Amino acid sequence: MNREPGVAVRRVETRPFEGQKPGTSGLRKSVREFAEPHYLENFVQAIFNTLGGDARDALVLGGDGRYGNRDAIQRILRQAAANGFRRVIVGRGGILSTPAASCLIRKHGTDGGIILSASHNPGGPDGDFGVKFNGANGGPAPESVTAAIHAASGSLDHYLTCDAPDIDLDRDGCHDLCGMQVDVIDPVADYADLLEGLFDFDALREMLGSGRFRMRFDAMHAVTGPYAREILERRLEAPAGTVMNGEPLEDFGGGHPDPNLVHAHALVALMNGDDPPAFGAASDGDGDRNMVLGRGGYINPCDSLAVLTANAHLVPGYRSLAGVARSMPTSRAVDRVAAARNLPCYETPTGWKFFGNLLDDGRITLCGEESFGTGSSHVREKDGLWAVLFWLNIIAARQQPARAILREHWRQFGRDYFTRHDYEGVDSAGAEALMAGLRERLGSLPGQQFGEEVVTEADDFAYEDPVDGSVSRGQGIRLYFESGARVVFRLSGTGTAGATLRLYCERYERDPTLLELDTQRTLAPVLDAAAAIAGIEAHTGRTTPDVIT
């Protein structure tokens, strides 16, 4: 679409930047790198160039409120106007959680959306920033699109913008920007309405508003605060103060907005204290991840997906399921539920975009990954608050505490002991050498014994999409052991400094007397074998992981 006559489109000469390759969740770099002149505009122009002129009608735009969010929105709006967009929908204050952005893209039928977030990475001037493009289905751009964006970023010699004053992001309303319509809207309402149609809000209101059931939700000074307050405290009438750290801050209050046992330490301490609430939960920087805790105990995300699948019939919006999917490193707990329920179950690479085709094709209803992400066909992103409400709905329907529900699940299906060890900021060359060494030895590892474990199979996971036939290779090294245990090695694509080596370990237990053992002790022989096979200390210089979940 061309701009109306009289609108001054300005062409800005530029040059390509190295490394503007989107990862599993867009382009994430340090704030300092994004602050380089033209850096942000180059990447956004690469997105627009990839879309082409026929897909530049309407766009959703917002982010998690981290440092640089508001300024970036104003600059992207000027670029969108200069590149011929007719309309952009922006969350008030520049705020949109990732699942809420997906909701808006789908509801308004836009050509996609740009989400400004580095998810669970730290914020502030010394933190990280990120830009992600979601397609018209509301989900993360598939690999073919991110590859095209990367290619476009490497050949740019100019970008387009227009000169106009900043628009007021803090009041709802319609604005004209260089001939383009900008609608500033309530960032919460449409998303909250969507969730209200999926869950039994009457039952939840009776449980949360009665005062007999206490819960705490830690928004970690990130984007989910306004959403949790509207849904939990207003619509469901939970007492004021149910939402902790509910004000989004540019630096997340100096914390690390990753909802795990290390970074959500205040919530974990509360849930393990003398008078804990019945249920605790936390979400991350952009609202797509979740951690849930019962009184006195953490519920692993792999178990969480399995429990939601097993109890979906209790939730109004999920009486029947088409199928389920999990990322490859996620434990096989949900596979056992799917087999018992005669449901199709898919194993995909890490990255929510791989669930998109399965969801769009109607093959699955629920999906999840071990990295605290769970979701469904209601949007095309993982969704932290959605997962919390799903758990609350099950608790209300079964009239049981979360930990009791989990224990019954283990007794019925057995338990997949699971842990992930993260070695963060390690030397990239050493990490790459570790992975290369494993790949070279895949054929020779079966039959070898390491400590108590004997390797039976070893492979490098490749995925053929059952919908479009695309193939994704090199998605992680898998080792299987005679004991039934499995380990996976991957390099993460979500960090911005050095490399993050992730080691995933699981072992299935069916004996009812062995279902509540300590996870790390139970998996110690498998972890020791994995460390010896890969030479973790030799390649990384680390003897212990930085984060254990």
CA–CA separation, 29 vs 116, rounded Å?
A: 12
Residue 14 pLDDT greater than 50, yes or no: yes
Q: What pLDDT band is residue 549 in, cutting at 50, 70 and 90? A: confident
Distance CA 169, CA 185 (A): 9
**C-alpha distances in Å from residue 295, one per residue of 267, 274, 429:** 11, 10, 43
Q: Which band of pLDDT confidence, cut at 50, 70 and 90, is reported for residue 25?
A: confident
| Mean pLDDT for the chain overall | 95
Query: Does the pLDDT of residue 23 top 90, yes or no?
Result: no
Superfamily, domain 415-548: Alpha-D-phosphohexomutase, C-terminal domain (3.30.310.50)
Q: Which of the two residues, 474 and 493, has the higher pLDDT score? A: 474
pLDDT computed for residue 128 by the predictor:
95
Are the C-beta atoms of residues 416 and 330 closer than 8 Å to each other? no
Mean pLDDT of 365-378: 96
Pick from 227, 209, 273: nearest CA to 387: 227
Indicate whether 494 pLDDT > 80. Answer: no
CA distances from 319 to 103, 207, 264, 296 (A): 21, 21, 33, 30
Q: What is the mean pLDDT of residues 188-209?
A: 97
pLDDT for 24 equals 72
The sign of the dihedral angle between the CA atoms of 467, 471, 472, 473 is positive
Contact by Cβ (8 Å): 282, 220: yes
**Do 191-413 and 415-548 fold alike per CATH?**
no
Helix (H) or strand (E) holding 480: strand 477-481
Q: Is 481 helix (H, G, I), strand (E, B) or coil?
A: strand
pLDDT digits (tens, 9 = 90+) for 301-332: 999 999 999 999 999 999 999 999 999 999 99
Give pLDDT, residue 377: 98
Provide the pLDDT confidence category of residue 485 given band limits of 50, 70 and 90.
very high
Q: Is the pLDDT of residue 2 over 70?
A: no
CB 460 within 8 A of CB 468: no
What pLDDT is stored for residue 495 in this prediction?
Answer: 52
The answer to whether residue 476 scores a pLDDT higher than 50 is: yes
The band of 70, judged by pLDDT with boundaries at 50, 70 and 90, is: very high
For 456, the enclosing helix (H) or strand (E) is: strand 453-460
In this prediction, residue 210 carries a pLDDT of 84
| pLDDT exceeds cutoff 50 at 482 | yes
Q: Please tell me the distance from the alpha carbon of residue 317 to that of residue 196, in angstroms, as a whole number.
A: 10
296-309 pLDDT per residue, tens: 789 999 999 999 99
| pLDDT one-digit tens code per residue, 426-472 | 999 999 999 999 999 999 999 999 999 999 999 999 999 999 999 99
Report pLDDT for 529.
97
Tokens read off for 169: 């992001």
Q: Is the pLDDT of residue 1 over 70?
A: no
Residue scoring higher pLDDT (4 or 473):
473
pLDDT of residue 493: 58
**In percent, how much of the chain has pLDDT > 70?**
98
- What are the tens digits of pLDDT across the range 395-429? 999 999 999 999 999 999 999 999 999 999 899 99
495-507 pLDDT tens trace: 556 789 999 999 9
Q: Please state which of the ranges 18-32, 147-161, 332-346 shows the lowest mean pLDDT.
A: 18-32
26 against 498, higher pLDDT: 26
Q: Answer with the residue of higher pLDDT: 25 or 486.
A: 486
| Active-site amino acid positions | 119
CB contact at 8 A, 308 and 394: yes
Query: 3-state DSSP call for residue 135?
Result: coil
What is the pLDDT averaged over residues 1-26? 81
The pLDDT score that the predictor gives to residue 7 is: 67
Measured CA to CA in angstroms, residue 302 lies from 330, 381, 516 at distances of 6, 17, 16
The CATH superfamily label for domain 191-413 reads Alpha-D-Glucose-1,6-Bisphosphate, subunit A, domain 3 (3.40.120.10)
In CATH terms, the superfamily for domain 9-187 is Alpha-D-Glucose-1,6-Bisphosphate, subunit A, domain 3 (3.40.120.10)
Domain ranges of the chain: 9-187, 191-413, 415-548
Output b/e per residue, 336-368; b: 16+ Cβ within 10 A: bbbeeeebebbebbbbbbbbbbbbbeebbbbbb
